[in-house]
Structure 1
Amino acid sequence: MASSAALDGVAAASLRSVLHRVQQAAEKSGRVAQQVRVVAVSKTKPVSVLREVYDSGHRCFGENYVQEIVEKAPQLPDDIEWHFIGNLQSNKVKPLLSAVPNLAYVETVDDEKIANRLDRVVASIGRKPLKVFVQVNTSGETSKSGVEPTLCVDLVKHIRNCPNLEFCGLMTIGMLDYSSTPENFKMLSDCRSEVCKAIEISEEQCELSMGMSADFEQAIEMGSTNVRIGSTIFGAREYPKKQAQ
């Protein structure tokens, strides 16, 4: 008899393993798995592999590059909840929102300029308000995008004054090697406490997007509600080989 992995395909079997690990980590944090969203990050992977994961029942996918998401999204069912989790330039906002009407979240808003651009474009194309996370640079690395933790509250307040944006929570990438330390997660949690106090909402109303393939279990145990998992589901990223000179 064929194994379930063979029947499902490698990515679907890997997703099932990830979901089991998420459940265990959530229980350690005193929650249930349904309180943690798993974003399957399919950077560099073909639509056929995404379709395999979709067919296994998963509906939440993320992409890092505008070019990839605008190519893939129209080829896949429109009940997918897409997350954009890469650095977003102002000139790419309209192509992104126009091509992906089922884009649910932008997780990487790190200054007022990009917030204003998103707000205007959402209004101009007449789509429903866009959910956004504020990206916080918790590691202090100059190579990382993200607002300084001390400026986090001001940016959240600005977003809440944008009628076409819905502030949902805070996001961090972590260290240079795309793994995080408990200090990164603790800092994001501390930022949430400050934000919630400043804008008078409960902490349950402010999500934490932290944790990726290398560290998602620890992130969940420290309160993450949204983990972004790529290689553990889809395997190593596949970049085109450079042509010989």
Structure 2
Amino acid sequence: MAAPAMETASATALRSVLSRVHMAAERAGRSPEQVRVVAVSKTKSANVIQQVYNAGHRVFGENYVQELTEKAPQLPSDIQWHFIGNLQSNKVKALLGGVPNLHMVESVDDKKIANHLDRAVVSLGRNPLKILVQVNTSGEESKHGVEPSQCVELVEHVRMSCPNLIFSGLMTIGMLDYSSTPENFNTLRKCRTELCDALGIPEDQCELSMGMSADFEQAIQMGSTNVRIGSIIFGPREYPKKNQ
């Protein structure tokens, strides 16, 4: 009897999040339609995701290839899946082959992974794939992402050498304790300004994926077009318990 209550709670939480996104966008003088909500469903069952889908949501995010390739076939094909975790080159074909409705990879952080994605799109006969370039805005060694100073070079490589990828913008995770959120968001905005100037890209054609459960309203205020929200929609992550 516990599962339906959890699913109902997730659908209710989604509506609350969408309302907060709407209000944050309006406070920033932006249209709410300019902000995409990615419901990050890692560790959650397909049944729980289905409940949020039934509430009208269509954009979901996952961090791990195996988890996503197991869930996607169990769920409706019109879901737009975002892969937001670190992607290893040896798992690219499994991801693209196992998730036909993969909409975007948000975590491209070097030329090697871009090249692997580009080749996999061709070999699997897929339509061009949208990608975001992940930027390490906090300077933490534990974080993935290209250094801000190398952002233009990587984006130029994607645009010039990976014809089967569609460069759509930039992504950052920020610091886990949210202690320098404004600085991280400002760094990503500066990266966008620099690369758009350098490569002649209109800024409104370069998305900013920044903001998670604890800071998405501030991220929207600072220009985010894509917020990744997990725990306040789905509740705490549910990792398997280790054997005692």
Common fold: TM-score over 0.5 = yes
| Residue identity in the other structure for 2:13 | S
C-alpha contact 1:141 1:176 (8 A) present in aligned 2: no
Aligned residues: 240
1:134 aligns with 2:136: no
The 1:137/1:45 distance shift into structure 2, 3 A limit, reads same
The 1:228/1:97 distance shift into structure 2, 3 A limit, reads same
**How far off its partner does 1:87 sit?**
0.3
| Root-mean-square deviation (Å) | 1.5
Q: Deviations over 1:85-133 (max 9, x none)?
A: 0000000000000000100100000000000000000010110000000
1:164 matched residue in structure 2 = 164
Structure 1 unmatched runs, 5+: none
Identical aligned residues as a percent: 71
The 1:82/1:121 distance shift into structure 2, 3 A limit, reads same
TM-score, length-scaled by structure 2: 0.96
Q: 1:45 is paired with a residue of what secondary structure?
A: coil
Q: 2:15 is paired with a residue of what secondary structure?
A: helix
C-alpha contact 2:44 2:237 (8 A) present in aligned 1: yes
Q: Deviations over 1:144-168 (max 9, x none)?
A: 0000000000000000021100000
| Residue identity in the other structure for 2:18 | L
CA distance in 2 between partners of 1:127 and 1:24 (Å): 37
CA distance in 1 between partners of 2:8 and 2:84 (Å): 26
Written as runs of structure 1 = structure 2, the 5 A alignment for 1:9-158 is 9-158=8-157
CA distance in 2 between partners of 1:58 and 1:160 (Å): 31
Structure 2 unmatched runs, 5+: none
CA distance in 1 between partners of 2:43 and 2:107 (Å): 19
CA distance in 2 between partners of 1:230 and 1:7 (Å): 14
| Residue identity in the other structure for 1:174 | G
CA distance in 1 between partners of 2:178 and 2:70 (Å): 25
| Residue identity in the other structure for 1:28 | R
C-alpha contact 2:121 2:128 (8 A) present in aligned 1: yes
Q: 1:224 is paired with a residue of what secondary structure?
A: coil
**How far off its partner does 1:6 sit?**
6.9
1:227 matched residue in structure 2 = 227
1:191 matched residue in structure 2 = 191
**How far off its partner does 1:176 sit?**
3.3
| Residue identity in the other structure for 2:47 | S
**How far off its partner does 1:228 sit?**
0.3
C-alpha contact 1:179 1:214 (8 A) present in aligned 2: no
The 1:180/1:132 distance shift into structure 2, 3 A limit, reads farther
| Residue identity in the other structure for 2:193 | S
**How far off its partner does 1:202 sit?**
1.1
C-alpha contact 2:6 2:48 (8 A) present in aligned 1: no
